[in-house]
């Protein structure tokens, strides 16, 4: 049986043979492919799409995934020459003596980064093979690594005893009240692979500390704005608790029809949104006046709206049950059942905004939807019958064939 595989972090073909790859129909989205010189031809035989990078492992090398700490104990344990390919990070300990590193004893190829104390940068040249990863130097303690979402707070800065090289893989957020003088003293260098979220007054300090910003996206929050971490839905009751608020958000803001012009004026001063704002047409002009970004989409409705988030399947009966036509806003996936007719779409859907995906069973329904689309930053797909040609594997960290 043929097999389809998708989303593989590391595809190891070092020991692959013609026989071991025979059952694979296609591999989609591979971060890194490792192969040997003797089986490099298998790359052309495998149907692989979207490869991040590929690397040939020299004969005799063994693979190490993750963070490899090169310290005195490891060096003293080497008897015979070691050939190592590190897929990840190498940290050279600051206590290593240069005379401990004998040429030819340790040979390392790195797909990633090497962190070395500044006074030992010459060691990297002795052990790293040609074409290895980038070398970064550090002073004092070795880099500290944080994965996922990490917030830089005053408490964290106070816990640091000596100047720190901080590496974040994921999202780094600066606390709004962060002591910038402490940041300047306690963080020697900052490296982020992912995204940085910080406030406008903190931006200059970031550029002083960042080793590079080529591997991350920087989100700058204007001074005085409150960050909304989740979608906000305002009605006549909930809106009363806000007074001249300035909001920064990348989530939808929904304003119900019972929120009057006076209520909105009192509650909101500014909205900085990279998402959408849904409101009744009676307050649409007020919403536009409060936007700080021209590109923010404002989706107004006349009678009522239906917001689709996640996955929903709608049948003909569900559309017919609506008392009046509605504005449909698809922020997830909307699947139209096979019994949905052209007539019901024309009579029950006043406008259609597609931010996600709409799936229809017939091409003619796609044509009907085109006539009522107001905004389309997503897709409309015609559902096709899917043949089951084999098993499917997805989201694999490491796969060896």
pLDDT of residue 121: 74
pLDDT category at 317 given cuts 50, 70, 90 is very high
Phi, psi of 144 (to 5 degrees): -105, 135
Q: Same domain, yes or no, for 281 and 243?
A: yes
Q: Same domain, yes or no, for 186 and 231?
A: no
More confident residue, 357 or 119: 357
More confident residue, 157 or 44: 157
d(CA 337, CA 95): 67
More confident residue, 283 or 105: 283
Do the domain assignments include residue 388? no
Q: Same domain, yes or no, for 243 and 294?
A: yes
> Model-level pTM?
0.71
pLDDT tens digits along 137-194: 888 778 899 999 999 999 999 998 888 899 999 999 999 999 999 999 999 889 998 9
pLDDT category at 386 given cuts 50, 70, 90 is very low
Q: Same domain, yes or no, for 272 and 295?
A: yes
Final residue before a domain boundary, out of 243, 269, 301: 301
pLDDT of residue 58: 75
Category of 261 on φ-ψ map: left (φ > 0), alpha (ψ -120 to 50) or beta:
alpha
pLDDT at 401 over 90: no
Q: Same domain, yes or no, for 93 and 121?
A: yes
The residue segments making up the domain with residue 167 are: 151-221
Q: Same domain, yes or no, for 323 and 281?
A: no
Q: How many domains does the chain contain in total?
A: 5
d(CA 267, CA 242): 5
pLDDT of residue 198: 92
Do the domain assignments include residue 10? yes
Do the domain assignments include residue 145? no
- The region of weakest confidence among 24-28, 65-69, 223-227, 341-345 is 24-28
Do the domain assignments include residue 311? yes
Do the domain assignments include residue 128? yes
Q: Same domain, yes or no, for 81 and 25?
A: no
Final residue before a domain boundary, out of 175, 193, 221: 221
Do the domain assignments include residue 395? no
pLDDT at 44 over 50: yes
- The region of weakest confidence among 53-62, 167-176, 280-289, 302-311 is 53-62
Print the SS3 string covering 258-312.
CCCHHHHHHHEEEEEECCEEEEEHHHHHHHHHCECCCCCEEEEECCCEEEECCEE
Average pLDDT of the residues in 352-360? 91
pLDDT of residue 21: 77
Q: Same domain, yes or no, for 280 and 232?
A: yes
Do the domain assignments include residue 83? yes
Q: Same domain, yes or no, for 70 and 51?
A: no
Print the SS3 string covering the chain.
CEEEEEEEEEEECCCCCCCCCCCEEEEEEEEEEEEEHHHCCHHHHCCEEEEEEEEEECCCCEEEEEEEEECHHHHHHCCCCEEEEEEEEEEECCCCCHHHCCCCCEEEEEEEEEEEEHHHHHHHHHHECCCCCEEEEECCCCCEEEEEEEEECHHHHHHCCCCEEEEEEEEEEECCCCCHHHHHHHEEEEEEEEEEEEEHHHHHHHHHHECCCCCEEEEEECCCCEEECCCEEECCCHHHHCCCEEEEECCCEEECCCCCHHHHHHHEEEEEECCEEEEEHHHHHHHHHCECCCCCEEEEECCCEEEECCEEEECHHHHHCCCCCEEEEECCEEEECCCCCHHHHHHHEEEEEECCEEEECCHHHHHHHHCCEEEECCEEEECCCCCCCEEEEEEEEEEEC
pLDDT category at 389 given cuts 50, 70, 90 is very low
Average pLDDT of the residues in 88-97? 85
pLDDT at 327 over 80: yes
Q: Same domain, yes or no, for 82 and 131?
A: yes
More confident residue, 279 or 25: 279
Final residue before a domain boundary, out of 252, 269, 301: 301
pLDDT at 388 over 50: no
Do the domain assignments include residue 32? yes
pLDDT tens digits along 99-146: 777 666 788 888 888 888 888 777 777 777 665 667 888 887 788 999
Q: Same domain, yes or no, for 208 and 246?
A: no
Q: Same domain, yes or no, for 157 and 211?
A: yes
């Amino acid at each position: 049986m043929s097999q389809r595989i998708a989303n593989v972090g590391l595809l190891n073909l070092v020991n692959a043979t013609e026989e071991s790859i025979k059952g694979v129909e296609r591999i989609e989205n591979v971060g890194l492919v490792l192969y040997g010189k003797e089986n490099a031809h298998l790359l052309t035989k495998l149907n692989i799409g979207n490869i991040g990078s590929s690397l040939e492992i020299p004969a005799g090398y063994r693979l190490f995934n993750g963070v490899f700490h090169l310290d005195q104990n490891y060096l003293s344990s080497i008897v015979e020459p070691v050939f190592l390919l590190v897929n990840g990070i190498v940290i050279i300990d600051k206590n290593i003596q240069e005379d401990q590193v004998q040429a030819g004893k340790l040979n390392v190829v790195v797909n990633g980064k090497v962190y070395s104390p500044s006074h030992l940068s010459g060691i990297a040249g002795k052990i790293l093979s040609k074409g290895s990863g980038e070398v970064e130097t550090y002073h004092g303690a070795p880099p500290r690594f944080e994965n996922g979402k990490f917030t830089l707070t005053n408490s964290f800065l106070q816990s640091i005893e000596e100047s720190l090289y901080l590496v974040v893989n994921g999202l780094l957020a600066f606390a709004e009240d962060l002591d910038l003088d402490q940041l300047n003293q306690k963080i020697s260098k900052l490296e982020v692979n992912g995204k940085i979220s910080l406030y406008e007054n903190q931006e200059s300090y970031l550029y002083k500390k960042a080793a590079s910003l080529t591997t991350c996206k920087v989100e700058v929050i204007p001074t005085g704005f409150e960050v909304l971490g989740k979608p906000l839905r305002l009605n006549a009751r909930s809106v009363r608790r806000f007074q001249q608020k300035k909001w920064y958000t990348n989530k939808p803001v929904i304003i119900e029809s019972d929120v009057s012009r006076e209520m909105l004026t009192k509650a909101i001063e500014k909205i900085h949104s990279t998402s959408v704002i849904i409101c009744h047409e009676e307050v649409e002009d007020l919403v536009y006046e409060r936007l700080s970004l021209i590109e923010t989409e404002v989706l107004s409705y006349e009678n009522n709206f239906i917001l689709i988030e996640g996955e929903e399947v709608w049948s003909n009966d569900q559309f017919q049950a609506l008392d009046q036509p509605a504005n449909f806003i698809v922020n997830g996936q909307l699947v139209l059942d096979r019994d949905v007719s052209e007539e019901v779409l024309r009579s029950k859907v006043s406008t259609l905004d597609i931010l996600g995906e709409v799936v229809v069973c017939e091409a003619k329904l796609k044509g009907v939807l085109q006539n009522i689309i107001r905004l389309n930053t997503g897709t409309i797909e015609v559902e096709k019958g899917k043949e089951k040609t084999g098993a499917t594997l997805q989201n694999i960290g490491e796969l060896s064939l």
